[in-house]
């Protein structure tokens, strides 16, 4: 178990910090503690939010005193066990056609690879969902192969299309909506990572701890799937629930 510390975050939150880097092993402990706290169903805890290297725990101080919560966290950490396959596995279609990937050629030039090899390397990884943030449903996926790791763009774009697949440093993301962006655009996916939902259904498709494999598709396949998505007919489910990831 890595060393950790519990920090105060205002009067309704605590942060359990596991380190100072982006590392799958640290992420596994973050997710394991989140799982144990959620399973414990402590009255007064309102939400747990995993990040790259820490767990944010929100609570109601009228119901649960911070000292009692810290004591419970220490107790749960004594028996925490990580799991390599705690999350779900997703195959998400991505079109790497240059029409939808304006930075693919730049990435190839900077890395000394061909465009085809960049696509092959980018799609060969089972990415780990470290956390959600910045935009609703936006998952930070790691780890990009070392040969594709580049700094962010010097001049960010003021707007990129929804579904853009981008890379920078060790992270890859599918952006769920139009947004400014400083990452390199290498493809686009028709999958909506944020679903309009009601009731208890959560709107984010992915969750921390999930794994994602990108499945390359042609421009024509992208256009077909994008039309399905626009009509609300594109259904994406985890691979362990069905072999047909896109229906």
> What pLDDT digit, counting tens, does each position of 177-235 carry?
999 999 999 999 999 888 765 444 558 999 999 999 999 999 999 999 999 999 989 98
| Residue 83 maps to a domain | no
Tell whether 101 and 193 lie within a shared domain: yes
Domain-ending residue, one of 22, 44, 78: 78
For residues 235 and 13, which has the higher predicted lDDT (pLDDT)?
13
Question: Looking at residue 10, which CATH number applies to its domain?
Answer: 3.30.1360.40
Is there a single domain that holds both residue 116 and residue 55? no
Flag whether 134 is in a domain.
yes
pLDDT for residue 18 is more than 70: yes
Residues 177 and 93 both lie in one domain = yes
pTM of this structure: 0.88
The last residue of a domain, from among 47, 78, 109? 78
With beta carbons less than 8 A apart as the criterion, state whether 214 and 94 touch: yes
> Is a pLDDT exceeding 60 seen at residue 242?
no
Residues 71 and 146 in one domain: no
The β-bridge relationship of strands 89-95 and 211-217 is parallel
Over residues 40-84, the pLDDT tens digits come to 999 999 999 999 999 999 999 999 999 999 999 999 998 777 876
Q: Which domain holds residue 45?
A: 5-78
Q: Is residue 51 part of a domain?
A: yes
The two three-digit tokens of residue 233, written as one number = 């007919």
The separation between CA 110 and the C-alpha centre of its own chain, rounded to angstroms, equals: 26
49 plus 101 within the same structural domain: no
Report yes or no on 58 lying in a domain: yes
Q: Is residue 61 part of a domain?
A: yes
Instruction: For residue 244, tell me if it sits in a domain.
Output: no
The residue out of 21, 52, 78 marking a domain boundary is 78
């Amino acid at each position: 178990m890595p060393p950790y510390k519990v920090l105060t975050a205002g009067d309704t939150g605590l942060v359990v910090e596991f380190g100072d880097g982006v590392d799958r092993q640290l992420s596994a402990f973050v997710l394991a503690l989140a799982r144990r706290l959620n399973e414990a169903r402590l009255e007064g805890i309102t939400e747990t939010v995993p990040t790259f290297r820490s767990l944010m725990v929100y609570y109601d101080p009228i119901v649960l005193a911070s000292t009692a919560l810290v004591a419970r966290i220490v107790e749960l950490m004594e028996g925490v066990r990580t799991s390599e396959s705690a999350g779900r596995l997703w195959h998400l279609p991505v079109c790497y056609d240059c029409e939808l990937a304006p930075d693919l050629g730049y990435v190839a030039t900077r890395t000394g690879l061909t465009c085809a090899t960049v696509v092959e390397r980018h799609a060969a990884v089972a990415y780990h969902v470290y956390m959600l943030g910045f935009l609703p449903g936006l998952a930070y996926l790691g780890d990009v192969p070392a040969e594709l790791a580049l700094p962010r763009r010097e001049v960010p774009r003021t707007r990129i299309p929804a579904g853009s697949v981008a890379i920078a440093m060790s992270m890859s993301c599918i952006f769920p909506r139009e947004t400014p962006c400083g990452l390199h655009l290498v493809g686009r996916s028709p999958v909506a990572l944020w679903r309009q939902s009601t009731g208890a259904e959560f709107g984010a498709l992915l969750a921390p701890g999930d794994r994602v494999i990108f499945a390359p598709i042609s421009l024509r396949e992208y256009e077909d799937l994008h039309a399905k998505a626009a009509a609300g007919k594109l259904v994406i489910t985890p691979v362990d629930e069905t072999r047909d990831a896109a229906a």
